[in-house]
Amino acid sequence: MALAIHKERSVAILPSFMNQITRMAVNKTQKYPGSNTATKTALPISHIDVTGCKDCTLVTSVFMSEIPHTSLEEVYAAVLAYFDSIPTAMRRHFGVKASRSRLNNIEAPVAYWRLNTDGIGFPPTVNHVMSANLTTSLGVVHLDAIPDDPSYPTGRSEFDVCALTLTPRKDPATGRTISVTLRWVVLYRYNMMPGDPVLKKSLEIVRPILNGDLITASVCSYIQELLQQRYTP
């Protein structure tokens, strides 16, 4: 019941939150030297903030892009495939050993996972609740860290969360979908200060996740394979 409520809340809150936070990222990028107000909303947009707190560092990333595909359902499926392949992607792209185990019943509508990693840049153990939902006009995926579950304890000092929305962009004249807008927000909490050399190394490693490169490559590769299968005799 608690996980179902968590999903309902995520699906209800995330769309407006993602619109707001990506708009803030657009406004920030236009303030940079050399920015052009005429092209300030040109995509993709990637903005990363590193904030030092009392006893930790928060790293937030906002990424927004257009996926050149006309099916919201297929882009949504590509995003889910990206999350399903996270352990494999971490080994392939970062050389990090990773394993994932399901903590709740596989039949449950909301997935509860534990991810274990062995490498610089990633929290060693994180419990994630994955909420996902698709309608005809919106796709939502929320991966939220659960650091305080007594049944499956983890370190509270380091964790990561992410959220994603997909919205179809339609041709004003025909009403047909011409692309899908992907909004992606990631938050990492590190148990170290911003000047720590280990943190700097960690950020270099996870940059492809933060700046949207990894998920974009994964989604586009999935769609390309889908189209090849569809049109290969």
Residues ≥6 apart with Cβ < 8 Å to 11? 131, 133, 140, 142
- 164: containing domain: 2-231
pLDDT tens digit sequence for 38-51 = 444 578 899 999 99
Q: Is the pLDDT of residue 136 over 90?
A: yes
217 or 24, higher pLDDT? 217
CA distances from 107 to 82, 119, 133 (A): 20, 31, 16
Indicate the SS3 state at residue 225. Answer: helix
Q: Rounded distance, CA 208 to CA 230, Å?
A: 30
CATH number of the domain encompassing residue 27: 3.30.530.20
Model confidence at 95: pLDDT above 70: yes
The Cα–Cα gap between 55 and 83 comes to: 30
Q: Are 179 and 67 in contact (CB under 8 A)?
A: yes
pLDDT band at 109 (very low <50, low <70, confident <90, very high): confident
DSSP 8-state assignment for residue 1: -
Average pLDDT over residues 100-128: 87
Give the tens place of pLDDT for each residue, 2-20. 888 888 888 889 999 998 9
- Tally of domains in the chain: 1
Please, which pLDDT band fits residue 182 given cuts at 50, 70 and 90?
A: very high
Provide the pLDDT for residue 22. Answer: 87
